Amino acid sequence: MLLNVPIACCASHCNPSKILESSPMSSGFILTMNLVWLASTCILLLGVSTEGSLRPDIIKIGAIFTFKTINGQVSKIAIKAAEKDVNSDPHILGGRKLSISMHDSNFSGFLGFVGALKFLETDTVAIIGPQSSVMARVLSHLAKELLVPLLSFTALDPTLSPLQYPYFVQTAPNDMFQMTAIADMVSYFGWREVITIFSDDDQSRNGIMILGDKLAEKRCTVSYKAALPPDPTATQSDVTAQLMKVQSMEARVIVLHTFSRTGLLVFNVAKKLGMMRKGYVWIVTDWLSTVLDSNSPLPANISNSIQGVITFRHHTPESKRKQAFMSRWKEISKGSIGLNPYGLYAYDSVWIIAHALRLFLDQGANFSFSNNTNLSGMKEVAIDLGALSVFNGGKQLLDNILHTNMTGLTGTVQFGSNRFPPHPSYDLLNVIAPSYRKIGYWSNYSGLSVTTPEKLYAKPANRSISNQQLHSVTWPGGTTEKPRGWVFRDNGRQLRIGVPNRVSYQDIISQMNGTVQGYCIDVFLAAIKLLPYAVPYKFIPFGDGHKNPTYYDLVNMINSGVFDAAVGDIAIVTDRTRIADFTQPFIESGLVVVAPVRRLKSSAWAFLRPFTPLMWGVTALFFLVVGAIVWILEHRKNEEFRGPPKKQIVTILWFSFSTMFFAHRENTVSTLGRSVLIIWLFVVLIINSSYTASLTSILTVQQLSSPITGINTLITSNELIGFQVGSFAENYLAEELNIPKHRLVPLGSPEEYAIALEKGTVAAVVDERPYVERFLSDHCKFSIRGQEFTKSGWGFAFPRDSPISIDMSTAILTLSENGELQKIHERWLSENACGSQSAEDESEQLRLESFWGLFLICGIACFLALVIYFCKMVRQFSQHFPEEAYPSNSASSHSVRIQTFLNFVDEKENVSQRNLKRKSRDISLNTYSEDHNISKRSQMKELHYG
């Protein structure tokens, strides 16, 4: 449809100014959309292609600024100075001259667009500007179509993507880096919430959007956004209305992102509203630093209204070339305005184009322009759009610009793959009448520091928290103490603190005669006294007073805005932390099991309790066995283990049981005997130590007995389990431990606990340890069984991201460190309780299973000693009593040999050696005599029968 519209429409019927007058929409949005439409239409309505190729002596560049602004005035002077310097050196462009034409957009997007069209009618190869991001979006479409690079150092909208606007180049760091620096500063000072005030235009709006993202990375938030009409249309009434809303907010950290005219108006109104006093924090983007640099000294009324403000300024490293330019600035500006960093970027932008053009010429390229052939047949032309031409070398020139690598007034000038400068950085300035002082630097390389970024570039990057540093700051109101960054809303309205209206455990928290008291209340009052500021509050009971309230509902009342906080015995558990913030726990808490117990009464036979009967029996048996084995091993060598049978039996018994006290008098002389005795004495040592420890426990610790040993017993059984009404124990048992709800019995008071446990209505009660300890102090028939099976604590609840919760946590830690928290605990909860012992105090009998390893080792040692001893005796006996010595035909030879072996073993070793030969001779003689008699009888028989 656009092809059928006469070109005259661009100048008359489709005048954007007329459209704006009748549009109810935002004027900035309408202006942008219509200028984009106008640019697209005019680009399509180009005449017949006419192409030329030449190398002109004068290369034309355009510049679009609003000359009534500070940056417009400074940029105009700097650009002209750069043009003069480039043209003064014939080697730069090979004798050609730059011709930079200036156009004043006068705060008007439409006039800026018209100026761009005029430049493009005259074969302009590049444009410096525009000054605003709104116009940058419009002209970028035109530049993309006509292949003319746009270079801007003031249109720093971080959303101007090179993918969408390939011919738009930001020659100064865009606002994304400045917003990152602000987020780092907010995090450095420990603030959690900020309020933003900004002009409702593309650049400011998108900058605040980036700030929100950067703050979120630091776990901070933008709590309120106050939008003002775009500069310079904001009025004092507009500013007053927004600042009054800001004044009623809780946060006191304010980020102001706008332009100089609106920004100074904001401070003027803020001063009148009392928003520049102690407690406020004002962080201002770099527009204020341009005012300070270019309009120094400031008028008294402006200077007084910005005391204590922190502002940013683009950091440019010191160099001789920069100092020389600053020295000649007064001359070239004729004292009309001071130099600020944007003047340096304007100067460098001209040199970026000059270097790119020099490379362009060195590459042998020509300055050729051609018209668009899309509408070559159009005849109705009201303005000379046919003069608009495409710069055929624009792509090559853009590439040369993006590959720039030079040193300018602003330092190293080059563009990365994302078109960002290599190391964007800022100076941090603190305004102090009548001027300002530098409190540090920020760079994306090292974060906040008091050392210049250039020195840090030579070191490894370090963004750790401990490495972030700034000098001291003088804040609004003249104080050097860091503001806490927030106040209570509604100018000191009392905090509505919900407290549970309990009917049980009155010592923990209760309400009597309209007064709230108890352990938790005393902890809260002690903590709130340590805060460095006054906190007005009032307690509001929660619950009907007939049964304990549900604590999840109490915490949820904070989330719904009914309460500003909750104070009481509130366990910090998962489902509650999802809807509120909790302080540091002021008491440890965890679920435990309480069950009835049977007391084991002391008796005359209590000394037998340490061991089970089986353990006693096995121990006694080993005493006898070891004694007998040692007797066997020592009998042949040791005189103390010899004698009449009665004496030897007594010796075995005495030696065995005297080893229990290490009081045995008999010495062991054999190697095997000593080995067995050493191992046995080690076993006796372990048994004695264990017996002593167990007996001590039995005689000194009250013994309790119960079939329930902990939560695992309850889980595997089918018994009923009691819990306190309102506690999180019910959900935990049902949802986490999968105990059926029909097994859970609600109990409302300690008295109900005792009745239910005594009657067997429930097998056990599961509750938090502080309640249980208080319950056991009055009920000695019950005890804690097993260990805690959850770990948590009690804390005070506050709304999410509430700064007071952090301060209260610090106060609770202070109470814990100075001992005050323990004193409060002893005052309310500690008593000489009879039932404070838990299952871990119980002493069980020692069983054989605990010692079978020792007995096994000792048994193996005894067995091996006997085997070795037996083998040794058999070998010695065989050597001295060979089988040939016994009559081979005697039926009693085996019994005789066994009897001889036993006598050999029973005899003392030195005696047996003497008797061996005698016995051997006796046996031989007996054998000879017996054989001789047999032979004589045989001879006599033969004679008789013969």
Question: pLDDT tens digits for 60-78?
Answer: 999 999 999 999 999 999 9
Stretch 20-37: mean pLDDT: 44
Question: pLDDT tens digits for 765-774?
Answer: 999 999 998 8
Of residues 587 and 927, the one with the higher pLDDT is 587
pLDDT at 496 over 60: yes
pLDDT at 463 over 60: yes
pLDDT for residue 43: 45
> What percent helix, strand, coil does the chain show, rounded to 5?
50, 15, 35
Q: Which of 585, 123, 107 is nearest to 397 (CA)?
A: 123
Choice among 34-38, 94-98, 122-126, 792-796 with the minimum mean pLDDT: 34-38
340: Cβ contacts below 8 Å, ≥ 6 apart: 70, 71, 74, 289, 290, 293, 294, 313
Looking at the chain, the whole-number percentage of residues with pLDDT higher than 90 is 47
pLDDT at 882 over 70: no
Question: pLDDT tens digits for 568-585?
Answer: 999 999 889 999 999 999
**Cα distances (Å, whole numbers) of residue 568 to 511, 590, 732, 767:** 12, 16, 20, 16
pLDDT for residue 217: 93
Q: Given the structure tokens 């938790």, which residue do they identify?
A: 520
Segment (H or E) for 744: strand 744-747
Is residue 405 helix, strand or coil?
Answer: strand
Residue 420 CA to residue 928 CA, distance in Å, equals 125
According to the per-residue pLDDT averaged within each range, which of 105-109, 771-775, 886-890, 940-944 is highest? 771-775
Output phi, psi for 557, to 5 deg: -65, -25
Stretch 435-446: mean pLDDT: 93
Choice among 134-138, 206-210, 307-311, 491-495 with the minimum mean pLDDT: 491-495
Stretch 131-142: mean pLDDT: 90
pLDDT for residue 577: 92
pLDDT at 933 over 80: no
Q: What is the dihedral of CA 859, 860, 863, 867, to 10 degrees?
A: -170
CA 742-745-746 angle, 5° bins = 130
- Which strands make up the sheet holding 447-449, listed edge to edge? 221-228, 193-199, 253-257, 281-284, 310-314, 425-432, 435-443, 447-449
Q: Which of 402, 401, 374 is nearest to 388 (CA)?
A: 374
Confidence of residue 831 (pLDDT cuts 50, 70, 90): low
Structural tokens at position 900: 């001889």
Confidence of residue 941 (pLDDT cuts 50, 70, 90): low
Please give the model's pTM, rounded to 2 decimal places. 0.66
pLDDT at 15 over 50: no
Residue 19 CA to residue 24 CA, distance in Å, equals 10
Residue 428 CA to residue 441 CA, distance in Å, equals 6
pLDDT at 483 over 80: yes
Q: Per DSSP, what are the bridge partners of residue 741?
A: none
Of residues 20 and 45, the one with the higher pLDDT is 45
pLDDT at 617 over 90: no
515: Cβ contacts below 8 Å, ≥ 6 apart: none
Confidence of residue 14 (pLDDT cuts 50, 70, 90): very low
Looking at the chain, the whole-number percentage of residues with pLDDT higher than 70 is 80
CB 162 within 8 A of CB 151: no
Question: pLDDT tens digits for 176-213?
Answer: 999 999 999 999 998 989 999 999 998 999 999 999 99
CB 570 within 8 A of CB 793: no
Confidence of residue 453 (pLDDT cuts 50, 70, 90): very high
pLDDT at 16 over 50: no
pLDDT for residue 829: 84
Segment (H or E) for 369: strand 367-370
145: Cβ contacts below 8 Å, ≥ 6 apart: 43, 372, 390
Choice among 82-91, 180-189, 390-399, 691-700 with the minimum mean pLDDT: 691-700
pLDDT at 835 over 70: no
Confidence of residue 103 (pLDDT cuts 50, 70, 90): very high
pLDDT for residue 46: 42
Confidence of residue 806 (pLDDT cuts 50, 70, 90): confident
pLDDT for residue 686: 84
Stretch 908-922: mean pLDDT: 54
Confidence of residue 895 (pLDDT cuts 50, 70, 90): low
Residue 140 CA to residue 385 CA, distance in Å, equals 18
**Cα distances (Å, whole numbers) of residue 377 to 38, 44, 48, 380:** 20, 12, 8, 9
Question: pLDDT tens digits for 517-539?
Answer: 999 999 999 999 998 888 889 99
CB 773 within 8 A of CB 551: no
pLDDT for residue 425: 95
pLDDT for residue 51: 43
Q: Report the chain's mean pLDDT, rounded to a whole number.
A: 82
pLDDT at 468 over 60: yes
Confidence of residue 842 (pLDDT cuts 50, 70, 90): very low
Confidence of residue 763 (pLDDT cuts 50, 70, 90): very high
441: Cβ contacts below 8 Å, ≥ 6 apart: 315, 425, 426, 427, 428, 448, 449, 450, 451, 452, 453
Choice among 96-100, 107-111, 452-456, 735-739 with the minimum mean pLDDT: 107-111
pLDDT for residue 845: 67
Choice among 32-36, 587-591, 670-674 with the minimum mean pLDDT: 32-36
pLDDT for residue 17: 37
Question: pLDDT tens digits for 378-418?
Answer: 444 444 555 677 888 889 999 999 999 999 999 999 998 88
Stretch 23-38: mean pLDDT: 46
Stretch 785-797: mean pLDDT: 91
Stretch 96-112: mean pLDDT: 89
pLDDT for residue 25: 37
